[in-house]
Amino acid sequence: MIEDDSVALVTGASSGIGAETAVQLAEAGADVALAARREGRLREVADRVEATGSEALVVPADVSERDEVVRMVADTVDELGGLDVLVNNAGVMLLEAVADADPSNWRTMIEVNLIGLMNATKEALPHLREGGHVINVSSVAGRVAGETSSGYSATKFGVNAFTEGLRQEEADNGLRTTLIEPGFVETELADHIPDEDIQDHTEEMLAEMDVLQPADIARAIVYATDQPEHVSVNELMVRPTGQG
C-alpha cells in the first residue's frame, strides 16, 4: 500500500512514462526521488510532484554508470528517509536490423535497460523497508521479438528473466516484484531511433493507432504498488486496444 510516509525512486523520470508515474505516485501520497540525466526536465517534474503536496528529490544520474546508481540510491535514502518502491523505468530503444546495427548501440541499450536496472535493484535491496517493491518496466518486446527489435528485445527479455529470478530469491523476505510490459505509448522513446527509415515507419505506425498515453501505464504501476502487502502483482501487459 502507498502510505503518506512511502518513498519511491523512479528512474527515467524526466519524460514519458517515468514522469507520469512520479506524479501519480505522489498523488497517491508517496514522496518521490526523480532520476535521469536531464536535470532541467527533472526539476519540471519535481514542481508537478510538489504541487500534489508530496516531497520531490531531484537526483541527476546516468544509470549506465554504476557509481552514479550507488549515489542515486544513497541520496534517496539519506534525503527522503528510506525507500519503499523502486521503479526501474529508464530505457532507450535504438531499433536497428542486425545486419545494419552499430554494435555500440547494442552496448548502450544493454547498459541502460538491463545493467542499470540490475545495479539499481542490487543497491536498493538492503534499503527497501518492509513491504518493499521493485517495479521493472519491460515491454511487449520483452515477450515477443520482431524485425529490428532484436537488440532492444534482448535487453527486455533480460529484464523479464532478472525480475523472475529476483522474485523467487526475495519472496520469503516479503519483497514484491512487478514487471510492466507496455505496448505502444506516445513518448520520446522513438525520437532516438538511429535508422531514419525505421523511425519513420515507427512514427507512421503510431500515428495510425489510438496509442497509450504515459498516464495509462502510470495507472498500472500505481495499481500494482497500491495493493495490500500480501498481494504481489507480478506482471502486467498493457497494449493499446488497436495494437495487433
Comparing CB distances to ligand NDP, the nearer of 5 and 200 is 200
d(C-alpha 114, C-alpha 192), whole Å: 18
Check: CB of residue 242 under 8 Å from CB of residue 209.
yes
Comparing CB distances to ligand NDP, the nearer of 54 and 88 is 88
Q: At its nearest, how many Å lie between ligand NDP and the CB of residue 179?
A: 11
User: Of residues 79-138, which lie at the interface with ligand NDP (CB under 6 A)?
Assistant: 89-93, 112, 137
- Which among 22-30, 33-41, 225-233, 236-244 is the span making contact with ligand NDP, rule CB under 6 A? 33-41
143 near ligand NDP (CB under 6 A): no
* CA dihedral angle for residue 217, residue 223, residue 224, residue 230, rounded to 10 degrees: 180
Q: Order of strands, edge to edge, in the sheet holding 31-36?
A: 56-60, 31-36, 7-11, 83-88, 128-137, 176-182, 235-238
158 near ligand NDP (CB under 6 A): no
163 near ligand NDP (CB under 6 A): no
Out of 3, 5, 100, 188, point to the residue binding ligand NDP (CB under 6 A).
Answer: 188
Among candidate residues 152, 157, 162, 184, the one labeled active-site is: 152
Check: CB of residue 222 under 8 Å from CB of residue 25.
yes
Comparing CB distances to ligand NDP, the nearer of 77 and 112 is 112
Q: At its nearest, how many Å lie between ligand NDP and the CB of residue 158?
A: 12
Check: CB of residue 87 under 8 Å from CB of residue 10.
yes
Listing DSSP states for 187-234 in one string gives SSGGGG-S-HHHHHHHHHHHHTS-PBPHHHHHHHHHHHHTS-TT----
- Which among 7-15, 43-51, 118-126, 229-237 is the span making contact with ligand NDP, rule CB under 6 A? 7-15
- Which among 2-10, 34-42, 96-104, 197-205 is the span making contact with ligand NDP, rule CB under 6 A? 34-42
Check: CB of residue 29 under 8 Å from CB of residue 23.
no
Comparing CB distances to ligand NDP, the nearer of 59 and 125 is 59
Angle between helices 117-124 and 66-80 (to 10 degrees): 40
DSSP H/E element including 164: helix 150-170
Listing DSSP states for 24-40 in one string gives HHHHTT-EEEEEES-HH
- Which among 30-38, 51-59, 168-176, 231-239 is the span making contact with ligand NDP, rule CB under 6 A? 30-38
DSSP state of 81: S
Q: At its nearest, how many Å lie between ligand NDP and the CB of residue 162?
A: 13
Instruction: Based on the residue annotation, tell me whether 152 is a catalytic residue of this protein.
Output: yes
Binding site for ligand NDP (CB under 6 A): 11-18, 36-38, 41, 61-64, 89-93, 112, 137, 139, 182, 184-185, 187-189, 214
Which sequence positions are flagged as catalytic?
Answer: 152
